Amino acid sequence: MSAISSPTSTELREGRITLPGCEMRYLEAGDGPALLHLHGSGGLRWDQQKAMLAERFRVIAPEAPGFGGSALPDGVHSLADLAGALAEMISQLAGGRAHVLGTSFGGRVATWLALLHPVRG
């Protein structure tokens, strides 16, 4: 009996999601508990850290509005607005709950997310 070949759970996937006030591009890989990984001011990059986390988590790495392939929208004017959009992303992609990890700029956004939407993260 031969095994059927399938993509590994850590295979990188790209997606887009429409949220209130914006559309965001995101990268994801892995299975397991959802982990929202928020990038710093240098923008979204898939790196060794995210790849290692994807071995234990479903890593969802959104590209914040105004960075790379995510347009700067009319509906997101502050970090609090961005936190609201990310809370909706967690609802749509992760069933309403996710671990949250942010570096640099992403850490500031994660703080707003924790303050304004504590049930999500």
Distance, in Å, from the CA atom of 9 to the CA atom of 106, rounded to the nearest integer, reads: 25
13-116 to CATH, choices 3.90.550.10, 3.40.50.1820, 3.90.1260.10, 3.40.190.10: 3.40.50.1820
Q: What is the pTM of this model?
A: 0.88
Distance, in Å, from the CA atom of 19 to the CA atom of 74, rounded to the nearest integer, reads: 12
Q: What is the pLDDT of residue 71?
A: 80
Answer whether 110's CB lies under 8 Å from 121's CB.
yes
Where would I find the beta strands (DSSP E) of 50-117?
A: 58-62, 99-102
68: which DSSP letter?
A: T
Q: Is it the case that residue 4 has pLDDT exceeding 60?
A: no
Q: What is the pLDDT of residue 19?
A: 87
